[in-house]
A and B are shown apart, each in its own frame.
Chain A
Amino acid sequence: MSGVVVVGLFDGIGKAAAAGNALRALPLDEDRITTLSSVPLPDGSVSRDTRPIRFPRVTLVGWFAGALAGLALALGTYLLYPLITGGKAIVSVPPTLIITYEVAMLGALVGTLIAGFREMGLCRFRTRLIHDPRIQEGKILLCARVSGDEQARRAMDAMKSAGGIDVRPEEGEL
């Protein structure tokens, strides 16, 4: 979702929280307000995360996909080229369980990594993203996606009156 984003830098979490409340009072929906900060802020302190987090499902899918791959690898290896050893089973259950388990865990780890990157919105190298390196000095960048000039002006006023510095409209994605 691209468009105009009003951003403002804040020295402390108190001022940023006041600005967040002022933006909600405009009114602006919760999902249009977010922060950029060098440390994670408690949910609800300035903005609230409204999108559901779906990691565990993807992890679970990765686990099952890995388990199937591990099972196929073990069984396929036994059956496609049977190593006939006296007194030994061609398809041996305990080793199959071990291989299945290890590949399942690998699937879960890789699934979590891919889902993590996707849900965090990483790897968007071609997209212009809102960012201000001054957050690394301890400042908080409050961002509000607005629609129309009037809402942009009111959002900027709200941020400025709450103590925001360098309040400005920016083009880019959150």
Chain B
Amino acid sequence: MNGSDHLSRTDPGALYRELSRSNLPATRRWYAVTGLLLLVTLWGVGCFVYMMMTGMGVTGLNRPVMWGALIASFVFWIGLSHSGTLISAILRLTNATWRAPILRGAEAMTVFALMVGGLFPLIHIGRNWRFYYMLPYPNSRQLWPNLRSPLMWDAVAINTYLIGSLTFLYFGMIPDLAIARDHATGWRKKFYTVLALGFRGSHNEWRRYHVASTIFAILIIPVAVSVHSIVGWDFAMAKVPGWHSTIFAPYFVTGAIFSGLAGVVLVMAVLRKVYRLENALTTVQFENLGKLLCTMSLLWGYFYFSEFLTVWYNRNPEEWEVYRSYGGHFLPLWLSMVVCNFVVPFPLLCMRRVRRSIPALCFVSFLVIVGMYAERFLIVVTSLARRNDPFIWHNYFPTWVEFSILAGALAMFLLLYAVFAKLFPIMAVSDIQERLFQATDRVVGGTTVESIARPEASVEGGHG
């Protein structure tokens, strides 16, 4: 560490050492934490195997609530995955100067949340060994997937998003892997040499790298939006009261970005604290994320009110019963959702003091995560619990098996993230270097301000 309170503009070696602390040899504490996470993950896997051997009866699922915490978690994790790549792509395209320190962490969050989220439908299907029925290949029994089912749209969209996000993450990491290669020794040098694919930082490479990054960013945004739209359509296509709504696709996308942003704030705060990245992840990044979170809270409130208003005014009995249950059995969940997603976050995030305070922003983000999980749970469970025929109404509560699988999934996400941060550059070093290279201090009147040079405006624009 250079001992200063800002990143070094003149010493790239010191900058790299500061930003790559996560790649230092693992400490006992790291082994202890990852060991614990591995144990919880294995416990979750064990419970899944128990469920597979015993049958779905060990869950709280019962007619008519045949989708429960596992599907709510699927929607939640896919939503959480939403913001990482999406935010990164939008910030790249808009050339936001504050973006560099959050890119990698956010993109990694997307990939791991998708990996974890994508497991839930497979866990939920019951006869899990038959998951390959979803794969479109000709076989002796001609069991082709039914592409008219929204669940198959999900399978296709999530795989596209996962491959796209992995591509986006890896491609963006190539210059940093090259930097790591040139600094590393031993097995890490070989590891980074292979992964950097021979990137050397030639002028031609940089130019093409930027063009490709821009194209990836342009492509990944509509894919991200389509994924959560399709998750929304999983529900909206069914004639189930509370699900069958035209607003579900944008409502789900909004909720996904909202929870994803909260996830990015929490991940960034943890990385900042654990790897002492205070000079890279400053209040500027957190304040801007706070502004986005505030906007999304407002948007979420708007969508929820729109959804509620049409049902309230229409008073279609089937749909109204679902909403009435929010004031009864599901009141604690409904209150958690409204309070944690809007009532508390929106006014708090309007205050600059809160946005600039990392602990306060983390508290709000945590509330949003809780509120969004409550929302997912309410959407999935309540609509089925109060479905059409009152004689079959049934309340649902997850069992210890489901809770264990959910805990295992969370531990798996954290474990993947911890291992990734240990092996790969968790900060986008080359992006940060580029930003520092473009920045100069400029005296304006009685003060000094940072001035950013934008090469594409003056030079590249002329060469197309």
In Å, the complex CA distance between A117 and B212 comes to 9
Please provide the chain A residues from 120 to 148 with a CB less than 8 Å away from any CB of chain B in the complex.
120-125, 129-131, 133, 135-138, 143
- On whether the beta carbons of B219 and A109 are closer than 8 Å, the reply is yes
- On whether the beta carbons of B171 and A53 are closer than 8 Å, the reply is no
- On whether the beta carbons of B204 and A77 are closer than 8 Å, the reply is no
- On whether the beta carbons of A101 and B226 are closer than 8 Å, the reply is yes
Which stretch (B7-15, B73-81, B348-356, B419-427) binds chain A? B7-15
Residues of the B chain whose Cβ atoms lie less than 8 Å from the Cβ of A80:
138, 142, 144
- On whether the beta carbons of A55 and B203 are closer than 8 Å, the reply is no
Cβ of B147 under 8 Å from chain A = yes
- On whether the beta carbons of A92 and B148 are closer than 8 Å, the reply is yes
Given contacts A36-B202, A42-B459, contact A102 B211 (CB under 8 A): no
In Å, the complex CA distance between A99 and B134 comes to 14
In Å, the complex CA distance between A96 and B138 comes to 19
Given contacts A39-B434, A43-B455, contact A119 B206 (CB under 8 A): no
User: Interface digits, B5-48 against A, CB 8 Å rule (1 contact, 0 not)?
Assistant: 00000111100100000000000000000000000000000000
Cβ of A163 under 8 Å from chain B = no
- Contact partner, A102, options B156, B209, B459, Cβ 8 Å: B156
Cβ of A40 under 8 Å from chain B = yes
Please provide the chain B residues from 167 to 207 with a CB less than 8 Å away from any CB of chain A in the complex.
167, 171, 174, 179, 182-183, 197-207
Residues of the B chain whose Cβ atoms lie less than 8 Å from the Cβ of A53:
207-208, 211
Cβ of A64 under 8 Å from chain B = no
Which stretch (A21-29, A44-52, A153-161) binds chain B? A44-52
- On whether the beta carbons of B156 and A122 are closer than 8 Å, the reply is no
Given contacts A38-B430, A101-B226, A125-B198, contact A49 B212 (CB under 8 A): no
- On whether the beta carbons of B156 and A103 are closer than 8 Å, the reply is yes
Given contacts A92-B148, A116-B212, contact A40 B163 (CB under 8 A): no
- On whether the beta carbons of B201 and A36 are closer than 8 Å, the reply is yes
Cβ of B136 under 8 Å from chain A = yes
In Å, the complex CA distance between A69 and B200 comes to 35
Residues of the A chain whose Cβ atoms lie less than 8 Å from the Cβ of B183:
133, 136
- On whether the beta carbons of B144 and A77 are closer than 8 Å, the reply is yes
In Å, the complex CA distance between A81 and B137 comes to 12
Please, which residue of chain A has its CB at the minimum distance from the CB of B213?
A: A116
Number of interface residues of B (CB under 8 A): 62
In Å, the complex CA distance between A115 and B223 comes to 20
CB distance from B230 to the nearest CB of A (A): 7
- Contact partner, A129, options B136, B160, B198, Cβ 8 Å: B198
In Å, the complex CA distance between A96 and B147 comes to 8
Given contacts A43-B463, A55-B212, contact A109 B200 (CB under 8 A): no
Given contacts A59-B219, A105-B222, contact A35 B203 (CB under 8 A): yes
In Å, the complex CA distance between A99 and B146 comes to 12
Residues of the A chain whose Cβ atoms lie less than 8 Å from the Cβ of B164:
105-106, 109
Please provide the chain B residues from 123 to 182 with a CB less than 8 Å away from any CB of chain A in the complex.
136, 138, 142-148, 152-153, 156-157, 159-160, 163-164, 167, 171, 174, 179, 182
- On whether the beta carbons of A77 and B202 are closer than 8 Å, the reply is no
Cβ of A113 under 8 Å from chain B = yes
Cβ of A6 under 8 Å from chain B = no
Cβ of B215 under 8 Å from chain A = yes
- On whether the beta carbons of A39 and B433 are closer than 8 Å, the reply is yes
Residues of the B chain whose Cβ atoms lie less than 8 Å from the Cβ of A51:
204
Cβ of B362 under 8 Å from chain A = no
In Å, the complex CA distance between A130 and B204 comes to 14
Residues of the B chain whose Cβ atoms lie less than 8 Å from the Cβ of A37:
201, 203, 206
Please, which residue of chain A has its CB at the minimum distance from the CB of B175?
A: A38
- On whether the beta carbons of B182 and A133 are closer than 8 Å, the reply is yes
- On whether the beta carbons of A109 and B163 are closer than 8 Å, the reply is yes
Report which residue of A34, A40, A49 has the largest number of chain B beta carbons within 10 angstroms of its beta carbon: A40
CB distance from A39 to the nearest CB of B (A): 4
- On whether the beta carbons of B210 and A122 are closer than 8 Å, the reply is no
Given contacts A44-B459, A45-B459, A136-B13, contact A112 B212 (CB under 8 A): yes
Cβ of B305 under 8 Å from chain A = no
- On whether the beta carbons of A109 and B216 are closer than 8 Å, the reply is yes
User: Interface digits, B443-464 against A, CB 8 Å rule (1 contact, 0 not)?
Assistant: 0000000000101001110010
- On whether the beta carbons of B207 and A43 are closer than 8 Å, the reply is yes
In Å, the complex CA distance between A106 and B230 comes to 16
Cβ of A67 under 8 Å from chain B = no
CB distance from A16 to the nearest CB of B (A): 11
- On whether the beta carbons of A98 and B148 are closer than 8 Å, the reply is no
Cβ of A9 under 8 Å from chain B = no
Residues of the A chain whose Cβ atoms lie less than 8 Å from the Cβ of B182:
133, 135-136
Residues of the B chain whose Cβ atoms lie less than 8 Å from the Cβ of A45:
455, 459
In Å, the complex CA distance between A115 and B198 comes to 16
Residues of the B chain whose Cβ atoms lie less than 8 Å from the Cβ of A95:
147-148, 153
Residues of the A chain whose Cβ atoms lie less than 8 Å from the Cβ of B458:
42
- Show 16 A/B contacts (Cβ-Cβ < 8 Å), sorted by A: A34-B202, A38-B430, A42-B453, A43-B207, A49-B463, A55-B215, A73-B147, A77-B147, A99-B153, A102-B153, A109-B163, A119-B212, A120-B209, A122-B205, A125-B198, A138-B12
If A112-B212, A138-B12 are given as contacts, then 16 extra A-B residue pairs at C-beta distance below 8 Å, sorted by A number, are A36-B203, A37-B206, A40-B206, A40-B455, A42-B453, A43-B203, A45-B455, A49-B463, A98-B157, A99-B147, A105-B222, A109-B164, A116-B212, A120-B209, A121-B202, A136-B179
Q: Could you list which residues of chain B lie within 8 angstroms of chain A, going by C-beta atoms?
A: 10-13, 16, 136, 138, 142-148, 152-153, 156-157, 159-160, 163-164, 167, 171, 174, 179, 182-183, 197-212, 215-216, 219-220, 222-223, 226, 230, 430, 433-434, 437, 453, 455, 458-460, 463
Q: Across the A-B interface, give the 10 residue pairs with the lowest CB-CB distance, nearest first.
A: A42-B455, A40-B206, A116-B212, A133-B182, A122-B197, A81-B144, A39-B437, A106-B160, A138-B12, A136-B182
